[in-house]
Amino acid sequence: MNFRLSEPQERLRSEVCEFLSQELGTSHTSEPRPMPPGYLPARDFELKLGERGWLALSWPEEYGGGGRPVAEQFIVEEEVALHGGPASDAIARVIVAPILMAKGSEEQKRRYLPGLARGEITFCLGYTEPESGSDLASLQTRAVADGDDYVINGRKVYTSGAEESDYCWLAARTDPDAPKHAGTSVLIVPMKSAGVEVRPLLNLLDEEWFNEVIFEDVRVPRGELVGGENKGWEVLTSALGVERITIYRAFVHMRMLWALVRQAREERGGRRALRQALRAGHRSPHSGQGRPWDDPAVRQRLGELAAEFEVARLLLWRAIGLHERGEEFRAQAAMVKLFNTELAQRLYTAGMGMLGSYATVLGGERALWQGALPHAYLSAVQDTIGAGTSEVQREIIALRGLGLPRG
């Protein structure tokens, strides 16, 4: 595979890089910073990307996209991540939009896709329930046909960004008597509908990223049904591969790696904690003097992490290539999601060990990089759960990628 960018791709990368450097004042090697609080903290930034057409480069032009190759969208995503760009509404762009293009009616496409391409419309996902997590087919939220509407009753939990979203991309059961994979449907529910209640759930950072959403006799027009009644499982699974290679990107963590390398190279007399946990699993002796970088075990651990980022890049671009050629890529996408999320946890665990007690300071003048390391360490916990747990990804790789028998 040729990893060199073409001339048009290199021009795009340079253009995006220049914009981000001016807009954010950062580079690929700038010090890491914690993300602002909230799930969608930078709507203005999202709108600026939308104005430039960078949120939907590969979408069809008739729906507000650029009609360009899929790879170019990932060039933009990589640069935004490497510059530490604020989190955006990836749910709407990489889950909702591809499904609408594949399964939505023409009226739905024209109503929602142009606004999504501009970054003007936000969605949350109504998937997980108290008794239905990775086994999405077991969901119990009901949508009952009543005249020209569906009436929805049920509960969703861990709904990221529900308090700020315009719509909920809702999975509900429309036929309770059908086999569990056959009786679900997908509906677009305006979050301002009567009967919708959002209750915040605190995450490990004590922030309200997650929510419980209650639907009580919520009426939604039949025109908001996506892909046909009882076709929800087919609709829901059609975009999981795109989600897994887009949302869980390794590049968002690169600046932390380079910051840890710089930190190890500095003279920090007496701060032995900077060495000790990075040496976990290594038995080479060390005098405790000099820079952490002078310890071969420290250099080896950081080198291993740098090599893993290169593996992450290769896995991603292989998945992009399969996706671009219209080939089956869900097993490869599962590899990307699994590797990237566990790499992030390994990186931040190593960093916490390097800094010792300094790594526990989330804020204040003593917080290194404004607390970016402990912030990311706590935030990374959820990544191996969302969009299918690591165990689910391994099962997909085994069944779809390796052709192993179930059980």
Tokens 């990223």 belong to which residue?
Answer: 209
> Rounded to an integer, what distance in angstroms lies between the CA atom of residue 232 and that of residue 186?
5
> Rounded to an integer, what distance in angstroms lies between the CA atom of residue 159 and that of residue 80?
24
Strand segments, DSSP code E, in 209-265 are: 210-221, 225-226
**Exposure of 189 by Cβ count < 10 A (0-12 exposed, 13-18 middle, 19+ buried)?**
buried
> Rounded to an integer, what distance in angstroms lies between the CA atom of residue 278 and that of residue 271?
13
The dihedral built from the CA positions of residue 179, 240, 329 and 305, taken in this order, carries a sign that is negative
**Exposure of 270 by Cβ count < 10 A (0-12 exposed, 13-18 middle, 19+ buried)?**
exposed
Radius of gyration of the chain (CA): 22
The dihedral built from the CA positions of residue 308, 309, 312 and 318, taken in this order, carries a sign that is negative
CB 202 within 8 A of CB 382: no
Q: What is the 3-state secondary structure (H, E, C) of 125-142?
A: EECCECCECCCHHHCCCE
> Rounded to an integer, what distance in angstroms lies between the CA atom of residue 257 and that of residue 50?
30
CB 5 within 8 A of CB 345: no
> Rounded to an integer, what distance in angstroms lies between the CA atom of residue 222 and that of residue 396?
34
> Rounded to an integer, what distance in angstroms lies between the CA atom of residue 84 and that of residue 87?
9
Residues 6 or more apart in contact with residue 356 via CB below 8 angstroms: 271, 273, 274, 276, 277
User: What single-letter DSSP state applies at residue 363?
Assistant: S
User: Token pair for residue 216?
Assistant: 């009580």
Residues in the chain: 407
Active-site positions read: 243
Residues 6 or more apart in contact with residue 97 via CB below 8 angstroms: 56, 59, 112, 113, 116, 117
